Amino acid sequence: MYIKELTELNGVSGNEDEVREFIKDKIKDLADEITVDSMGNLIAFKKGKSGKQKVMLSAHMDEVGFMVTGFSDSGVIRFATVGGIDERILLGKRVLVGEKKIPGVIGSKPIHLQEREERNTNIKLKKLYIDIGTDKKEETEKLVSLGDYVAFHSPYTEFGEGLVKAKALDDRVGCAILMEALKERYECDLYACFTVQEEVGLRGAEVAAYTVNPDIALVVEGTTCSDVPGVEKSEYSTVLGEGAALTIMDRTSYPDKNFVNYIYELAKRNNIPVQFKQTNTGGNDAGKIQMSRSGVVTASISVPCRYIHSPVSVMSKKDFNSCKDIVIAVLKDLGTKEEAY
Amino acid sequence: MFDLIKRLTQSFGVSGNEEEIRETIINEIKDYIEDIKVDTLGNLIATKPGKGKKIMVAAHMDEIGVMATYIDEKGFIRFSNVGGVSAFISIGQKVKFKNGTIGTVFYEEKLEDMKNLKLSKMYIDIGAKDKKEAEKLVRIGDVACFVGDAVKQEDLVISKALDDRSGCAVLIEAIKRMPQTDNEIYFVFTVQEEIGLRGAKTSAYQLKPDIAIAIDVTDTGDTPEAHLMEVKCGGGPAIKIKDNSIICHPEVKKLLEESAKKINIPYQYEILEYGGNDSGAIHIAAGGVPSGAISIPCRYIHSPVEASSLEDIENVVKLLVEAIK
């Protein structure tokens, strides 16, 4: 399990090199062929014993983050978000800027100097800046360029009963599961796709699915988990600790019902905890893969993660293991019977 | 025509769950066309072979509906929308699940201001005593369609799911009436239009037609205080010029205009300032397909009382047959 290593690497959408190189190195002896396409998707092919089916496993390497958009005379950095980030959580967060990983903090006007109205409203992104400890524009520009990527700085921490806190669990959990899955041999031909730019519009997956042209696809994700105070039980998406979550429908896809039921039943038969994601919000790579070419039988399975898209996402190792076990069980079962699944 | 529309609109087929309506359509067309197949996503593709132009005609089988997302201890079901479902239109309606279970849709009474009404503040009551009993009938992820009988009054047909079963009826009639032609025609009954033109995208990719025409309903501007729109119910087939998903190809538009003139039927132009239909996905598939659409004027779209003129629908059939023969 490479969750610690993977989440401590930086791979904001469009800048996934570090994550890709790490994965590539770790799986080089596990796949028959490894390619990197023009967008940066990493595709590992593993030949199956019968090769009757072509299965695409997909997890995205990128994470939400920021990009440098300008400098103030005082040396602080203006920035934009890359991917969906709640701007209200940003104040006071630690970040790493650019390839040199220069430490910085996200700051704004201190409470003492704020007018009453300012205190009562949520701070807007344009009022925030990144401070890297310089005090002149020229000094900052020596260290940072326009367009540099910025990632949350948040070391992997274990706490509670088998819980993990980290940034980028969405979707390094998926990457870690794909890496585990590549260790086994299967009947089906396996294409493990580590995709790019999911957080900015499912872009890598669209290209990878077109290239691979699979019969069946399974997307492995980190998904929202809203079993927290202030949320009605009827609005929980998933519950932490109750196993991997299967998507019934979300904004981008309506996964193949028969395939989803097959996965659910297979998990139950093997006594692996599994739940359905109750809400229909959000979306992931499945949306593009299902509609690739003439259409692909697709499902999506996820590790529930609280506080997703923040530097303090939380998951349960139990859920991670259940997701991993289900993915491997499905791969082992596919292609062993007369019918497709 | 009304009887066909009745059979089609009363079949179940919420987006992603088009099994029943697909069977209904197969039964209608199987004696008239040989090559019928179902693709990965569930699109029904009926092909009339030929050596001439490859023409794709599309109407979507799916209808809007709701999906059960949570069942509380007392057996009430929370739900979300599948496609464009209005909270206001849903109040006091009946919904029907695939297994026939009927529920009534209502809202939390503590709601202070109707303006704040959202689907998340509403629920479905299936008359179950508690959660356990409810779960015998409905599972999380099950979908339900709205209940809306098909009624004929003079020239008007009122029903749920005229969007787009009236378009499906047009394709079925066209299959039955198709005269001899060299063209290869793909009659495609698509899935998942209401949640993002999805079936049209994958079917167009595999068929790679030379030209495509979508048949779907469109809004009208002829009701009290309606937004400004030229389309009238009963004014004849509406030849689409644009909507939010497509600017129709001029050659296709011209073909439809000329065909309408030739057979001397009334027609009107449609400029829809919102929304889209299958042609939007088809025209940018597989390297690009010159596409257009004939729309059936329809009042109260996405409600259980959608209303169209039977004469309009009949004229859409005539126009389509003339255009693709």
> Quick one: A184 and A303 in the same domain?
yes
Q: Do B69 and A280 touch (CB under 8 A)?
A: yes
Work out how many domains chain B is built from and give that number: 2
* CA-based nearest residue to A248, from A270, A233, A264, A231: A264
- Domain that includes residue A290, residue range: 3-63+167-333
Choose, out of A56, A227, A234, A236, the residue to mutate when testing the contact with B (most B CBs < 10 Å): A234
Transcribe A235-275 into DSSP letters.
G----TTS-EEEES--SS----HHHHHHHHHHHHHTT--EE
Closest residue of chain B to A292, computed from CA coordinates: B202
Q: Is residue A339 part of a domain?
A: no
CA atoms of B140 and A239, how far apart (whole Å): 15
Residue A142, classified by CB atoms within 10 Å of its CB into exposed (0-12), middle (13-18) or buried (19+), is exposed
- Which conformational region is residue A56 in: left (phi greater than 0), alpha (psi within -120 to 50 degrees), or beta? beta
Chain-chain contact of B15 with A254 (C-beta, under 8 angstroms): yes
B72, B141, B205: residue with CB nearest A234: B72
Q: Give the model's pLDDT for residue B116.
A: 85
Q: How many CA atoms lie within 13 A of B211 on its CB side?
A: 21
**SS3 state at B323:** helix
CA distance readout (Å), B196 to A39, A109, B15, B281? 25, 44, 10, 9
- B133 shares a domain with B280: no
Q: Do B80 and A293 touch (CB under 8 A)?
A: no
Residues in chain A within 8 Å Cβ distance of B141: 248-249, 276
Pairing of strands B238-242, B291-297: antiparallel
CB-side exposure of A238: number of CA atoms within 13 Å?
Answer: 33
- Which of B146, B175, B198 is a domain's end point? B146
Q: What is the pLDDT of residue A278?
A: 87
Tokens of B169: 């009826």
- Helix-helix angle B162-177:B2-9, to 10 degrees: 130
Domain holding B111: CATH number? 2.40.30.40
pLDDT at A46: 97
B183 and B290, same structural domain? yes
* CB pairs A-B closer than 8 Å: 63
Structure tokens given for B69: 């997302």
Evaluate whether B46 touches B174 at the Cβ level (below 8 Å).
Answer: no
Q: Are residues B212 and B92 in the same domain?
A: no
Do B116 and B254 sit in the same domain of this protein? no
Same domain for A260 and A146, yes or no, is no
Whether residue B179 is found in the same domain as residue B316: yes
**B292/B217 same-domain check:** yes
Domain identity same for B109 and B212: no
Contact A294 B206 (CB under 8 A): yes
Token representation of residue B105: 């849709």
Q: Which residues of A touch B (CB under 8 A)?
A: 233-236, 248-249, 252, 254, 257, 276, 278-280, 290-297
Inside any domain, residue B20: yes
Which range of residues forms the domain containing residue B79?
A: 66-146
**Which chain A residue is nearest to residue B80, measuring alpha carbons?**
A280
Distances (CA, A) of B195 to A161, B18, B90, B94: 40, 13, 18, 22
Residue A43 lies in a domain: yes
State whether A294 and B40 contact (CB < 8 Å): yes
> Hey, are the CB atoms on B205 and A294 less than 8 Å from each other?
yes
* Residue A162 within any structural domain of the chain: no
Question: Does the beta-carbon distance from A295 to B78 stay under 8 Å?
Answer: no
In whole angstroms, give the CA distance from residue A55 to residue A190: 5
Shared domain check, A178 and A266 = yes
A298 and A256 within one domain:
yes
* Same structural domain, A8 and A119: no
Which among A234, A249, A254 is the nearest to B70, CB-wise? A234
Nearest to A317 by CA among A154, A159, A184: A159
Which chain B positions have a beta carbon within 8 Å of A248's beta carbon?
Answer: 67, 140-141
- CATH number of the domain that B35 lies in? 3.40.630.10
Across the beta sheet with A42-46, what order do the strands follow? Answer: A33-36, A42-46, A189-195, A54-60, A216-224, A297-305, A244-247, A274-277
- Asked whether residue B151 is domain-assigned, the answer is no
CB distance A295–B195 less than 8 Å?
no
For testing contact with chain B, the best of A251, A254, A292 (most B CBs within 10 A): A254
| Residue of B193, B194, B306, B322 marked active site | B193
Q: Is the same domain home to A74 and A52? A: no
CB count in 10 Å sphere of residue B47: 17
Paired with A105 in beta bridges are A94, A131
Q: Give the residue from chain B lying closest to A260, CA to CA.
A: B141
- Cα–Cα distance for residue pair A63/A84, rounded to 1 Å: 10
Say if A341 falls within a structural domain. Answer: no
Nearest to B67 among A234, A249, A295 (CB): A249
Q: Residue B150 in contact with residue B305, Cβ under 8 Å?
A: no
Q: Do A276 and B141 touch (CB under 8 A)?
A: yes
State the Cα–Cα distance between residues A216 and B239, nearest whole angstrom. Answer: 39
User: In the numeric block, which tokens belong to residue A203?
Assistant: 């872009």
Q: If you search the block for the tokens 């919420």, which residue do you land on?
A: B14
Pairing assessment for the beta strands B143-146 and B94-97 based on DSSP bridges: antiparallel
For residue A111, the model assigns a pLDDT of 80
Final residue in a domain of this structure, among B146, B171, B200: B146
A42/A73 same-domain check: no
Q: Which of B14, B70, B76, B190 should be substituted to probe chain A, the one whose Cβ sees the most A Cβ atoms within 10 Å? A: B70
What Rg value do the Cα atoms of chain B yield, rounded? 20
Q: Measure B265 CA to nearest chain A CA, in Å.
A: 37
- B140/A278 touch (CB, cutoff 8 Å), yes or no: yes
Q: Can you read off the two tokens belonging to residue B33?
A: 């066309």
Q: What is the per-residue pLDDT for B40?
A: 95
| Same-domain check for residues A202 and A282 | yes
- Tell me how close the Cα of A160 comes to any Cα of chain B, in angstroms: 29
CA distance B200 to A216: 20
pLDDT of residue A339: 73
- Answer yes or no: do A278 and B70 touch at CB < 8 A: yes
**Are residue B140 and residue B78 in the same domain, yes or no?**
yes
- With respect to residue B154, please indicate whether it lies within any of the assigned structural domains: no
| Residues on chain A touching B75 (C-beta within 8 angstroms) | none
Whether residues A125 and A104 fall in one domain: yes
Tokens 């440098």 identify what position?
A68
Task: Locate the chain B residue with the closest alpha carbon to A247.
Answer: B141
CA torsion A326-A327-A330-A335 (nearest 10°) is -170
Residue A142 lies in a domain: yes
Which residues contact residue B230 at a Cβ distance below 8 angstroms, ignoring those fewer than 6 apart?
Answer: B221, B268, B269, B270, B271
Per-residue pLDDT of chain A (341 residues; tens, 9 = 90+): 899 999 999 999 999 999 999 999 999 999 999 999 999 999 999 999 988 899 999 999 999 999 999 999 999 999 999 999 999 899 999 999 999 999 999 998 888 888 888 888 888 888 899 999 999 999 999 999 999 999 999 999 999 999 999 999 999 999 999 999 999 999 999 999 999 999 999 999 999 999 999 999 999 999 999 888 888 888 889 999 999 999 999 999 999 999 999 999 999 999 999 999 988 888 999 999 999 999 999 999 999 999 999 999 999 999 999 999 999 999 999 988 777 77
User: Which member of A276, A279, A297 has the closest CB to residue B40?
Assistant: A297
Contact A254 B70 (CB under 8 A): no
H or E stretch including B105? strand B102-107
From chain A, the residues in CB contact with B198 under 8 A are 254, 290-291
Q: How many domains does chain A have?
A: 2
Nearest to B141 among A234, A248, A295 (CB): A248
Which residue is closest to A232 within chain B, CA to CA?
B120
Domain shared by B139 and B172, yes or no = no
Low-confidence ranges of chain B (pLDDT < 50): none
Report the C-alpha gap between A279 and A277 in whole angstroms.
6
Q: Do A284 and A198 contact (CB within 8 A), yes or no? A: yes
ipTM of the complex: 0.88
Q: Which of B198, B207, B278 to mutate to test the interface with A (most CBs of A within 10 A)?
A: B198
| Contact at CB, A279 and B69, closer than 8 angstroms | yes
Angle at which helices A317-333 and A257-269 cross, to 10°: 110
